[in-house]
């Protein structure tokens, strides 16, 4: 992405902060710390920046000295240093003006660090071996100490990596001031079904970071899961007002407005999305549906034709149109749109799920059960497949009792 020359010095300061943090993580490993966004330092003499400068100075001095005295150690240290350059985003090669410190990103650099440590230990051992009376005993003691340290570090990390909730809980405890970590933890809690705790964490986060657009979006998503579409719509609109750059917030706001049969509001968000994301096809589908409701068939056809030009033969387009038609109660047309999406891609999961749910609501349980069986069979083993199988069992039990789906 284009970047002005004047933006490079502040990016360099962030990079120095990131290098200092990665150096600390290398020397003092801790349980998973999550994704930490580097806040812009106040100036070149801030403590975080000075630590980064110190690390860079030590590495460069070490490389100069080791190059002539211990080439193998220099190779390992050079590997470590080279791997930190893209991680620190010194030159903005990813997500311009943003730097994230993530434990997993350090893994490539640690290969060089391990080589550096191994070569250094070997050199020191060779130099000291003649002066030691019982070198083999000392070597065994050192090996045992390293093994115990590795076991202790593994024990600390395994507890945090059991699932998303434990992982992000460990991240939160390590860095409670990170809004990203808080939102990831709330999302994990909501995904695990603990909606009350997720909502409480999101409320606390909103009080601490009232202008965070992504926080408002996650609150909207959790409100949807709780079955509160009005609150979800309000939060999605709040996230857009706060500057949420992705199109997903516009899309959810438009769809929820349509489901609430607030047609003008839905049309507004489709029009706003079309202006903001001119290369996206779904806003054109939404505007086509909206113009069709107004009786403007000519405009509706123009919008649908534009969507087809932007994303030809995409199963997402008829599926999305089916969602909008279903909000009006045009069940037959919605089912036809879902089947049109599956004709383009029989494996397109959103259309398969939408069609199965539509058949279920219409009381056509046998067809819905067939659809859910295919969905469950196509999902990999895991939480989503378990949810699909559980839903399928409830439907089969209802069919066995002769209970119509729409009466449950």
Between 9 and 214, the more confident residue is 214
Written as six digits, the tokens of 62 are: 């070490």
Are β-strands 36-37 and 100-101 bridged in parallel, bridged antiparallel, or unpaired?
Answer: antiparallel
Q: For the chain, give the mean pLDDT.
A: 87
- Cβ-based burial of 86 (10 A; exposed 0-12, middle 13-18, buried ≥19): middle
Q: Quote the pLDDT of residue 154.
A: 81
Q: What is the H or E stretch that residue 353 is in?
A: helix 349-361
* Reported confidence tier of residue 403, pLDDT bands at 50, 70, 90: very low
Which letter does DSSP use for residue 12 in this model? Answer: H
Q: How confident is the model at residue 407 (pLDDT cuts 50, 70, 90)?
A: very low
Alpha-carbon gap, residue 395 to 405, rounded angstroms: 8
Q: Name residue, tokens 């966004």.
A: 37
Among the residue ranges 64-73, 328-337, 396-405, the one predicted with the least confidence is: 396-405
Rounded CA-CA distance 367/340 in Å is: 17
pLDDT > 70 in the chain, percent: 91
Among 51, 60, 52, 72, CA closest to 116: 72
DSSP symbols for 177-215: T-HHHHHHHHHHHHHTT-HHHHHHHHHHHHHH-TT-HHH
pLDDT at res. 3: 63
Structure letter (DSSP) for residue 373: H
Task: Give me the mean pLDDT over the 81-103 stretch.
Answer: 78
| Residue 362: DSSP 8-state | T
The per-residue pLDDT for 148 is 92
Q: Is the dihedral of CA 96, 99, 102, 104 positive or negative?
A: positive
Q: Is the pLDDT of residue 405 over 50?
A: no
What's the mean pLDDT in 335-357?
Answer: 93
Question: Are 277 and 269 spatial neighbours (Cβ–Cβ below 8 Å)?
Answer: no
How many angstroms separate the most distant Cα atoms in the chain? 96
pTM of the model as a whole: 0.67
CA gap 354, 373 in Å, rounded: 14
Residue from 71, 155, 152, 77 nearest 112 by CA:
77
Domains of the chain: 5-156 (no CATH), 313-408 (1.25.40.10)
CA distances from 166 to 169, 214, 263 (A): 5, 22, 42
Q: Are 332 and 301 in contact (CB under 8 A)?
A: no
């Amino acid at each position: 992405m284009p970047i002005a020359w004047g933006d490079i010095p502040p990016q360099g300061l962030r990079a120095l902060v990131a290098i200092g943090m990665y150096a600390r993580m290398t020397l003092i490993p801790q349980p998973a710390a999550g994704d930490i966004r580097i806040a812009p330092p106040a100036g070149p003499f801030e403590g975080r920046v000075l630590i980064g400068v110190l690390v860079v100075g030590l590495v460069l001095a070490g490389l100069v000295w080791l190059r002539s005295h211990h080439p193998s150690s220099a190779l390992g240290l050079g590997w470590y240093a080279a791997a930190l350059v893209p991680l620190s985003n010194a030159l903005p090669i990813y997500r311009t003006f943003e730097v994230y410190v993530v434990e997993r990103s350090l893994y490539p650099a640690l290969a060089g660090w391990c080589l550096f440590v191994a070569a250094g230990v070997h050199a020191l051992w060779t130099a000291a071996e003649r002066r030691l009376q019982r070198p083999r005993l000392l070597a065994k003691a050192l090996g045992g100490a390293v093994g115990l340290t590795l076991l202790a570090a593994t024990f600390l990390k395994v507890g945090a990596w059991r699932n998303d909730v434990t992982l992000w809980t460990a991240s939160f405890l390590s860095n409670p001031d990170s809004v990203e970590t808080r939102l990831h933890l709330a999302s994990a809690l909501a995904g695990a079904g603990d909606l009350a705790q997720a909502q409480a964490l999101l409320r606390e986060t909103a009080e601490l970071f009232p202008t965070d657009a992504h926080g408002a979006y996650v609150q909207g998503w959790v409100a949807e899961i709780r079955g509160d579409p009005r609150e979800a719509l309000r939060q999605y609109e709040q996230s857009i007002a706060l500057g949420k750059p992705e199109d997903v917030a516009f899309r959810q706001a438009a769809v929820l407005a349509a489901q609430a049969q607030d047609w003008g509001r839905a049309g507004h968000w489709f029009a706003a999305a079309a202006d903001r994301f001119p290369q996206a096809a779904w806003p054109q589908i939404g505007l086509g549906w909206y113009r069709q409701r107004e009786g403007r068939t000519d405009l509706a056809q123009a919008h649908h034709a534009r969507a087809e030009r932007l994303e030809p033969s995409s199963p997402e387009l008829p599926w999305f149109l089916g969602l909008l038609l279903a909000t009006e109660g045009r069940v037959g047309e919605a089912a036809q749109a879902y089947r049109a999406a599956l004709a383009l891609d029989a494996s397109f999961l959103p259309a398969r799920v939408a069609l199965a749910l539509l058949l279920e609501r219409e009381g056509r349980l046998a067809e819905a059960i067939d659809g859910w069986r295919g969905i469950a069979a196509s999902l990999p083993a895991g939480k989503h497949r378990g949810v699909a199988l559980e839903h399928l069992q409830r439907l089969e039990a209802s069919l066995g009792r002769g209970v119509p789906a729409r009466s449950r």
